[in-house]
Amino acid sequence: MAPPAKSIASSTAGSPSSRTVELEQVVQHVEQGLVSLADALRERDGAAIEHEAGELHRALANAVQCFMHVAEHGGVPEPLRRRLARASATVARQRESLARATAALDRAIDVLMPAPHVSAGLYASNGLQSSSTRGGMLRA
């Protein structure tokens, strides 16, 4: 991912058109972060996913800060506002997709590796004596 654009909030100087160009760079950085994260997810590369998610988080935080600053000092052009809103919606879709995948994985693990059942009898399902029924031992 490209390095973050210069923070607009660090400077109040500049014409509205220069701030628009800088906002454009900030939005492009967020959009590129979304593409990079999607690529990492598609590749199922855990380290890359962690890295790209962190980069995207920083890009989004910078974008919010820049947009707030520009909004306080003259307003944000509508096309850029819509692009950032689309990027935000994409983040929400990715988050929801990951939550569904995690829930499905959790269900599959529960089916494949059920939790051991505590038996009331003398022997466990594997034929060995249950630990809770061993003579006189107290387990804390």
Q: What are 15-49's pLDDT values in tens digits?
A: 667 788 889 999 999 999 999 999 998 998 999 99
Question: Is 93 part of a structural domain of the chain?
Answer: yes
- Domains in the chain: how many in total? 1
Task: Give the domain range for residue 94.
Answer: 16-112
pLDDT by residue (tens digit) across 65-105?
999 998 888 888 899 999 999 999 999 998 898 899 899 99
Residue 36, class by beta-carbon neighbours within 10 Å (0-12 exposed, 13-18 middle, 19+ buried)?
Answer: buried
Question: Is 51 part of a structural domain of the chain?
Answer: yes
Question: Is 67 part of a structural domain of the chain?
Answer: yes
Question: Is 137 part of a structural domain of the chain?
Answer: no
pTM of structure? 0.65
Question: Is 78 part of a structural domain of the chain?
Answer: yes
Question: Is 11 part of a structural domain of the chain?
Answer: no
Question: Is 121 part of a structural domain of the chain?
Answer: no
Question: Is 72 part of a structural domain of the chain?
Answer: yes
- Sign, Cα dihedral of 53, 57, 58, 60: positive
